[in-house]
Amino acid sequence: MTTIASFDARLLRVPLIRPWAADVTSVGVIATHVTRSDGVEGWGFSWTPQIGASAVLALLTEDIAPVATGRDADPEALWDPLWRHLHEAGGGGLTTIALAGLDLALWDASARATGVSVSSVLGRRRDGVRVYGSGVNLHYPLDELLEQVQRWMDAGLTAIKIKVGKPDLAEDVERVGAVRALLGADRDLMIDANQRWDLERATTAIDALSQFSLGWIEEPLRADDLAGHAELARRIEVPIAVGENLHTIHRFGEYLRAGATQIVQPNIVRVGGITPFRRIAALASAHGVALHPHLLPELSGQLALTLDGEPWAEDVEDAGFGDLGVLRDPSPVSISSGRLTETTHHGLGLRFREA
């Protein structure tokens, strides 16, 4: 049996080119490195915007590394025992974000051991996936928002997502209407409320905004509000998308069984890595629900190539690892004319600079 010989992690604080809010000006990347008993190495990462990166690092170095060392290096065999080990600190959230750091490194090592990419190991089903432009842009003035949308159009993107949730609903209507007018009728437009509304506000807002032919409304309510999402789904016709703040397959299962979502968007790091992400993808497929991975296109784009259905990749403007200049090697993916494809690489192809 191949085992984990050593595992370590280090924290990188990465300033954002375009701050996501006044208090979200950086992301934390916790770069991880595993060495197996056969000498094969693997590299992975955990990730969190602004908050919690030091806590994730502590979980990795103090609670995961000592328990994982000497155990089976098969990520699918190791994930559940480690999740149970960490459960006293929480079933999801910081614990699953930390678990991703080891899980990704083990998948990377598994693919590098045979000289192929992780998507080849998992079974690539397509050569490319559609990309939608995404921006944390609720604080942008309208003219700046429209300039951003125009950049996406000029880059060949045919689907975009913008933020909503202004205190005055009339301003949301003005902004979404202006974006739709610029896009025209043939491009897809989605909106994201980032959990800003309650049930009644969401009902009113979506009723006013649905005139703009929306592909989905993302996180209209607090992600913890399962009953609210189920009720909202009964009230509106716009599909509801959730998932970036659901951390376990159990939560995804609750939403799917309740009919509270029509599109799921798991973040591969937040759910604990590739191992649980694949289980969530299988569950979504069994329910006939579309899955579009959340953020991190250099990672999620690779996994999207292996999924059922027609997954999309999300590209937040100026927020990719390549854009932020933190990768040691060329990006493992390329985005051109609204499509994401892989470049030639081994493993995940994601190794981070020392500084």
Would you tell me which CATH number, out of the four given (3.40.50.720, 3.40.190.10, 3.30.390.10, 3.80.30.20), belongs to the domain 4-112? 3.30.390.10
Q: Which one is catalytic: 163, 229, 247, 292? A: 163
- Contacts of the segment 197-200: beta carbons below 8 A, 24+ positions apart: 197/165, 197/221, 198/228, 199/225, 199/228, 199/231, 199/232
pLDDT tens by residue, 130-171: 999 999 999 999 999 999 999 999 999 999 999 999 999 999
CATH code of domain 120-342? 3.20.20.120
Residue span(s) of the chain under CATH 3.20.20.120 come to 120-342
Q: What is the pLDDT of residue 22?
A: 86
Supply the mean pLDDT for the chain: 97
Residue 355 pLDDT > 80: no
In this prediction the pTM is: 0.97
Q: What is the pLDDT of residue 195?
A: 98
Residue 106 pLDDT > 80: yes
Rounded CA separation 296/131 (Å): 12
As a whole number, mean pLDDT of residues 282-293 equals 98
Rounded CA separation 201/85 (Å): 40
Instruction: Looking at 42-130, list the stretches that DSSP marks H as alpha helix, in order from N- to C-terminal side.
Output: 53-58, 65-68, 75-86, 94-112, 118-122
Judge whether 163 counts as a catalytic residue.
yes
Work out the pLDDT band at 175, boundaries 50, 70, 90. very high
Q: Which one is catalytic: 229, 247, 292, 294? A: 294
Judge whether 294 counts as a catalytic residue.
yes
Residue span(s) of the chain under CATH 3.30.390.10 come to 4-112
Q: What is the pLDDT of residue 88?
A: 95
Q: What is the pLDDT of residue 21?
A: 87
Please give the torsion angle defined by the CA atoms of residues 85, 86, 89 and 91, in that order, rounded to the nearest 10 degrees. Answer: -110
Work out the pLDDT band at 203, boundaries 50, 70, 90. very high
Q: What is the pLDDT of residue 220?
A: 98
Rounded CA separation 119/317 (Å): 24
